[in-house]
Amino acid sequence: MPNLLPDENTMYQALLNKDKSFEGIFFVAVKTTGIFCRPSCTARKPRRENVEFYASTKDALHHGYRPCKVCHPMSFSGEIPKWLNPLLDEISENSDQRLTDWDLRQRGIEPSRVRRWFKKHHGMTFQAYLRSLRINRSVGRIKFGDKVIEAAYESGYESLSGFTESFKKMTGFSPNKSGVKNVITVTRILTPLGPMIAGAIEEGICLLEFADRRMLETQFKRLRKYLQAEIIPGEHAHFEQLNNELQDYFSGKRTTFSVPLVLPGTDFQKKVWAELQTINKGETRSYSEQAKAIGQPEAVRAVARANGDNRIAILIPCHRVIGKNGQLVGYGGGLWRKKYLLQLESRVSLK
């Protein structure tokens, strides 16, 4: 089995820095306490000679270590807590409902706790999240024939003016223009390498990026421009298929993806992205080989830029393109993620 770990000095430095970009890459076990942690654990940092590193929680458990109660390494980073799951299930069943602080307390949930979780993981309050769901559904209703006033009342608004004001604030356009405007629905998907942000429109998935990627805001702006659309958190039919296929990929059960993709971009970018999808799992190419593959051997730098502009990670496997000397270079999600993905695919291809 290939070694999935970075070198130990790098891992120990990541531990000292509480570096979240190494989430899923390694786990650290402390000999003096018998526990193992995430790289980003906030507990007191052990001395270098007192730690061991493992590629998985299974390995740490098999060596006699128990999970840390501070960072909970047995769960995905950013995983939805158990106390919140019933509430999210309820919202999923009826996203048009309004839930006040009193309603949350009646369900045994402290409103401030919910508010903090949504601010941390979605960048908005719980009430703003509910509004975004209602507006998202309203766009679909109006686009497919409902009158604005019908969509307003079905979404729980008591006045048309209140609905119109919230709608314009959320989407940037009036309800009457919903028939000609697009909405990109976004959500978080948990993976062993940390949360990813997925985006979808009616035709398919148009975004899949690691949540901590610096270029994420830029990709949002480009998608708004290309698709003439606004971005709203919510649910979408494509997300379930995407999530299932990603789970199969990380568990080694899938080598290709079938969820539909939407790839707005220049003709050159589309050519590069299409060629990326021909690189088989377990294989790699250099940037110069990619340039030759698209019939433009002189366009190595342009190919590299197009790779960097790819906004659908993993499914369009830009991580399979490496330097001509075999070194790992140029991955927006972080080189350690690139290494993890390549070694995961290599391990699967050997089975």
What three-state secondary structure class fits 67? strand
With vertex at residue 181, the alpha carbon angle to CA 177 and CA 186, rounded to the nearest 5 degrees, is 130
CA-to-CA dists, residue 308 to 231, 304, 313, angstroms: 22, 6, 10
Same domain, residue pair 158 and 251: no
| Whether residue 319 sits in one domain with residue 294 | yes
Residue 145: what pLDDT?
41
Tokens of 208: 């899949």
Confidence (pLDDT) at 207: 95
Domain total of the chain: 3
Q: Are residues 142 and 30 in the same domain?
A: no
Tokens 């990627």 found at = 213
What pLDDT was estimated at residue 159? 47
- The Cβ of residue 161 has, within 10 Å, a number of other Cβ atoms equal to 10
Catalytic annotation, residues: 318
Over the chain (351 residues), what is each successive 10-residue block's mean pLDDT? 68 89 83 89 89 84 81 71 83 74 91 84 76 62 45 47 55 51 81 86 93 84 87 84 93 90 95 95 92 94 94 95 84 84 77 52
pTM for this predicted structure: 0.63
Domain end among 16, 38, 67:
67
**Is there a contact between 202 and 196 (Cβ–Cβ < 8 Å)?**
no
Are 230 and 147 members of one domain? no
| pLDDT value of position 233 | 76
- 201 in helix, strand or coil? strand
Domain assignment present for 182:
no
Q: Facing residues of 238 across strands?
A: none
Q: Is residue 79 part of a domain?
A: no
Q: Is the same domain home to 104 and 194?
A: no
Q: Can you read off the two tokens belonging to residue 148?
A: 């604005």
- Measured distance CA(69)–CA(51) in Å, rounded: 17
Burial per residue of 275-287, b for 16 or more beta-carbon CB atoms within 10 angstroms, e otherwise: bbbebebeebbbb
**If 0-12 CB within 10 Å is exposed, 13-18 middle and 19+ buried, where does residue 199 land?**
buried
Residue that is written with structure tokens 């695919």 in the block: 345
**Beta strand spans in 153-289 (E):** 182-189, 196-201, 204-210, 229-233, 285-286
Amino acid letter at 124? M
pLDDT value, residue 138 = 57
Q: Are residues 314 and 165 in the same domain?
A: no
The CATH number of whichever domain residue 336 belongs to comes to 1.10.10.10
In angstroms, the Cα distances linking 249 to 209, 246, 255 are 16, 5, 7
Residue with tokens 């559904």: 137
Q: In what order do the strands lie in the sheet with 229-233?
A: 204-210, 196-201, 182-189, 229-233
Q: Which domain holds residue 281?
A: 189-349
CATH number (domain holding residue 15)? 3.40.10.10
How far is 307 from 321, CA to CA, in rounded Å? 8
CA-closest candidate to residue 310, choices 257, 261, 269? 269
Residues 101, 87: Cα–Cα separation, whole Å: 13
Rounded-to-integer distance, Cα 273 and Cα 317, Å:
9
pLDDT value of residue 1: 33
In this structure, the answer to whether residues 171 and 196 fall within a common structural domain is: no
Q: Choose among 125, 289, 284, 310: nearest CA to 206.
A: 310
pLDDT score at 173:
52
In a domain, residue 292? The reply is yes
Instruction: Choose among 213, 177, 173: nearest CA to 197.
Output: 213
The predicted structure's pLDDT at residue 105 = 92
Q: What pLDDT shows up at residue 311?
A: 95
Amino acid identity, residue 19?
D
Residue 211: predicted pLDDT: 82
Query: Which CATH number fits the domain that encloses residue 135?
Result: 1.10.10.60
> Is the four-CA dihedral 254, 340, 189, 183 of positive or negative sign?
negative
> How does DSSP classify residue 81?
P
Judge whether 73 and 38 are in contact, CB under 8 Å: yes
